[in-house]
Amino acid sequence: MFVKDVMVQNQVGLHARPATFFIQKANEFKSSIWIEKEERRVNAKSLLGILSLGIVGGTSIRIIADGSDEQPAVDALVELVDSGFSGENR
């Protein structure tokens, strides 16, 4: 299991569009991946799960992965969050 905490930088947080980018990135990996906010944990490959957390800008989240590619999965998702979801422009 590999875990990292990251602060959501973009002002709007993980609303539908950035959450979709997050899920697309998470689905590139075989590992089981979760997002944790406070005491709630949801599947990082589930749009409804992510949206149910109500993550806004300035919120600290924990990204957790368990599987054969857990470390690269977490690192890639942390990088995406740190970039402010700059993938939106691609």
Stretch (H or E) spanning 74: helix 70-82
Annotation marks residue 15 as catalytic: yes
Candidates 4, 15, 41, 62; catalytic one: 15
Where do we find the tokens 């470390």?
71
Give the Cα separation of 69 and 84 in Å (integer): 23
Give the Cα separation of 34 and 50 in Å (integer): 9
Catalytic residue annotation: 15
